[in-house]
Amino acid sequence: MTHPKRTGARLELKDVTKTYTGHGEDKHVLDRINCIVEPGEFLSIVGPSGVGKTTLLRLLTGLTPVTSGEILLDGKRVTSPPEDLAIVLQEYTRSLMPWLTVEKNIELPLKLKKIAKEERRERVQSAILEVGLEGNDSRYPWQLSGGMQQRVAIARALASRPRILVMDEPFASVDAQTRLDLEDLVLKVRDDFGITTLLVTHDMDEAVYLADRVLVLTGKPAHVAAEIAVPLGYPRDQVDTRAHPDFGHLRGEIYQLIRGKR
């Protein structure tokens, strides 16, 4: 099937800084993060646990305000969740509505946006096809495996036709085999729609395998340790790409950055 190619959004982070104030001492989490993500690009953000990756994700999705600096999506300042952005979170069991079927879960955001019924149905069906959930329309999320639930979350994100997709550790809670399948699904989605894709992960292999570029965060407060281009070419393959000498080299480089700075 063919998809309408959309252009991805351009994301720009300028001196993005976050300090949590409140109980006791201030907590300086992110320090002057700068980064530009080009339309259609796939960027992975890696760093050790607790470094502030999720905080960065919350800032650039507009869920939490920045302390200073600014985030621009297609030149427009992000102050609340932008229209063209969709998110997929790690906790699939908590991010889907357990009282709605797969179909209704995907449809809900469209319904609340008052999109006509005809178009809703069409979008939901094509999203279900895109992520390979055919035949599960009327099942409930809790009747599905973790990997399938995460597919529902991805389908829901796609149905709103985003120009940028942001994912927070989306595959951290699924088993290894499913994880590889979902990684390839995400690559396919990026390919089919040309949307800008951001992936927050602590898994260095995954970061390299999926991305055009990897942003490495380290330190307290976190700053950009390096921006590493991934010249591995497409299509990627779970066996060949991972066996490529450059893959191992990049992985090693990132590993040392993360370990060295801890």
Partner 1 sequence: MFSLLRRFLISSWLVAALLLFWWKISANSESYFWPPLGQIATQFKTNWLFANVAEDVVPSLKNLAIGYFIGAPCALVVGAHLGLSEIAQRIFSPLVNFFRSIPGVALVPIFIMLFGIGDESRRVSIAVAVFFPTLIATIEAVRTSDAVLLDVSRSFKFSSFQSLWRVRVPSGAPMISSGLQVSLQVGFIVMIVSEMLGAFRGLGAFTVEAQQSFMIIDMWTGIIMLGILGYIFNVIFELIEKRALRWYRGQKGLTT
Work out how close the CB of 92 gets to partner 1 at its nearest, in angstroms, rounded to a whole number: 9
CB nearer to partner 1: pick between 61 and 196 = 61
To partner 1, the closest distance from the beta carbon of 233 in angstroms equals 32
In whole angstroms, how far apart are CA 97 and each of 94, 133, 141, 149, 151? 8, 17, 8, 11, 14
Which tokens sit at 110?
Answer: 């469209």
Cβ–Cβ < 8 Å for 52, 222: yes
Q: How far apart are CA 38 and CA 12, in angstroms?
A: 8
Token duo for residue 256:
């040392």
Q: Rounded to whole angstroms, how far apart are CA atoms 5 and 42?
A: 16
- Minimum CB–partner distance for residue 30 and partner 1 (Å): 18
Least CB distance to partner 1 at residue 162 (A): 10
Residues that bind partner 1 (CB under 8 A): 61-63, 80-81, 83, 85-87, 89, 91, 94-95, 97-100, 108-109, 112-113, 140, 142-143, 160
Q: Integer distance in angstroms from the first to the last C-alpha of the chain?
A: 47
Contact 232, 244 (CB under 8 A): yes
The answer to whether 164 and 76 have CB atoms below 8 angstroms apart is no
Question: Least distance from C-beta 179 to partner 1, angstroms?
Answer: 20
How near is the Cβ of 108 to partner 1 at its closest, in Å? 7
At its nearest, how many Å lie between partner 1 and the CB of residue 28?
23
10 Å CB burial of residue 114 (0-12, 13-18, 19+) is: exposed
Task: Specify the residue, 19 or 101, whose C-beta has the smaller distance to partner 1.
Answer: 101
Largest CA distance in the chain: 56
Strand, helix or coil at 72?
strand
User: What are the backbone angles phi and psi of residue 249, rounded to the nearest 5°?
Assistant: -65, -45
